[in-house]
Amino acid sequence: MMARSSSSLHTACAPGKIILFGEHAVNRGQLALAAAVGLRTTCVVRESREGLWVFRSGQRQVAYSSESLQTLVERLDTALATRDFATITGATAADFFTSSAYVVGRAKAREAAPLEIAFTSDLPIGFGLGSGGAAHVALAVAVAHSGASAAVLPGAAEISAWALAGDRIAHGGVASGLDTQTSLVGGVIEYRDGEVGRPLPVPAGLRVVIGNTGIAKGTTGSVNGRVRRWLEEDSARMAIFVEMGGIAQAGREALLAANWAQLGVRMNEAHALLQQIGASHPQLDALCEAARRAGARGAKLTGAGGGGVMIALVEESTQPAVARAIREAGGTPLLTDIGVGGAALVT
C-alpha cells in the first residue's frame, strides 16, 4: 500500500500485447503465453469541472451523471449474472465508452466526485493488439490514484479486478484476464484463467513482425460470440481447444530454450487450429503464408482474429524480407519492441 498523492491529476500508461499462444483456448482453461508490445495507451484522470463523468478519446466524448453511471453498472452486473450477452454487446455497440464507464463505476464508490477521463493511444483500436485491455489497465491505475478522501491506495488485486471487469464488458460478457495481466505485468507472461500472469524470462533474440490486415475484426465480443456458438453446436469440438493448450505448453518449452525453429513450428500449428475454429480470415492466412515464404520461422494470427493482426517470428536477418512480403501481400508491417515493461503511473 502506498500513501495517496494529493494531486488531482493522474496519468497512467499501459502497453498493448501480442498473444503468442492460447487465444480463445485461454477462455476454456488452457495455458496461454503473451508479450507486452512497445505501443501504449495513456489515460489522464482529473476532477471533473462539469459535475459529470466525462470520457474522451480523439473526437469521441460522452458524459454520464453519477446516477446514469450507477444505473449502467447495475444493468451490466445483472446482464453478467444472467449471461445476457445481448444486453452487454448492445450497450458496447451503443456507446464506445461503456466498458470504461463500467470500470469507473465499479472502482468508485457512490459518493466519489465525478472525474474527467481522457485516453490517447499508439495502439490501433480493434485490431487484436489489446487496445481495450491497455485502456482498462491504464484507467484502473489512474483511477486508483484519484480522489482525496481515502488514506491508502487500492491494492494490485483490486486494480487488476477493475481492469478485467472492463475487458469482460468489452469482450461481450466473457473474458480471460490474459490481455489485462499482460498489460499490467509486462514482459512475456504465461497465464491461466483466474490466475495472475507469471513472468517468463524473455530470451534475447525473440523478434516478431506484426502484420496488420487493415481489416477491422469488429469487437472481440463478436468474434468470441461466434467461437462460443460454434463450440455449442458440438461439444466434441472442445478437443481442439485442449490441443491448443498442448501447443502452448510445447511453445513455452521452445521459447524458454530459445529454440526458434520449434517455436515457429508451434506457431504454425496454432494458426491451423485457429483456422479450424473459424477465428482466421483469408487475409490473415495470406499474410501468414507470405511471411513464411519470405523466411519467417512461423506465423499465426494473434488476438481474437476475424481480421486484425498476425505475427511472424523472425531473426534480424529475415526481418526486412518478411516485413516487405507482408506489405506486398496487402498488409502493413509493424516493427515494435516486445516484452516491454508493464503499466505505470506517470504522474
Residues that bind ligand PMV (CB under 6 A): 23-24, 26-27, 128, 130, 132, 171, 175-176, 178-179, 220, 224, 303-304
Which residues make Cβ contacts (< 8 Å) with residue 317, sequence separation at least 6?
none
Q: Which is nearer to ligand PMV, 11 or 27 (CB)?
A: 27
Q: Is 179 a catalytic residue?
A: yes
Task: Compute the least distance from the CB of residue 324 to ligand PMV, in Å.
Answer: 26
Q: Which is nearer to ligand PMV, 24 or 207 (CB)?
A: 24
**Looking up cell 494473434, which residue turns up?**
302
Q: Which is nearer to ligand PMV, 54 or 135 (CB)?
A: 135
Task: Compute the least distance from the CB of residue 65 to ligand PMV, in Å.
Answer: 30
Query: Among the options 179, 193, 234, 337, which is catalytic?
Result: 179
Which residues make Cβ contacts (< 8 Å) with residue 30, sequence separation at least 6?
22, 192, 241, 242, 244, 245, 248
Task: Compute the least distance from the CB of residue 159 to ligand PMV, in Å.
Answer: 18
Q: Which is nearer to ligand PMV, 133 or 333 (CB)?
A: 133
Angle 131-144/156-170 helices, nearest 10 degrees?
140
Beta bridge partners of 199: 189
Nearest to residue 272, comparing CAs of 295, 256, 294, 292? Answer: 292
Task: Compute the least distance from the CB of residue 176 to ligand PMV, in Å.
Answer: 4
Element (H, E) at 165: helix 156-170
**CA-CA distance, 41 to 60, in Å (whole number)?**
16
Task: Compute the least distance from the CB of residue 122 to ligand PMV, in Å.
Answer: 16
**CA-CA distance, 146 to 141, in Å (whole number)?**
9
Which residues make Cβ contacts (< 8 Å) with residue 247, sequence separation at least 6?
21, 266, 269, 270, 273
**CA-CA distance, 14 to 140, in Å (whole number)?**
10
Q: For residue 11, give Cα distances in angstroms to 96, 118, 304.
A: 21, 9, 29
Q: Which is nearer to ligand PMV, 114 or 173 (CB)?
A: 173
Q: Which residue's C-beta sits nearest to ligand PMV?
A: 303
Q: Which is nearer to ligand PMV, 64 or 191 (CB)?
A: 191
**CA-CA distance, 266 to 20, in Å (whole number)?**
10
Task: Compute the least distance from the CB of residue 8 to ligand PMV, in Å.
Answer: 32
Please list the active-site residues.
179
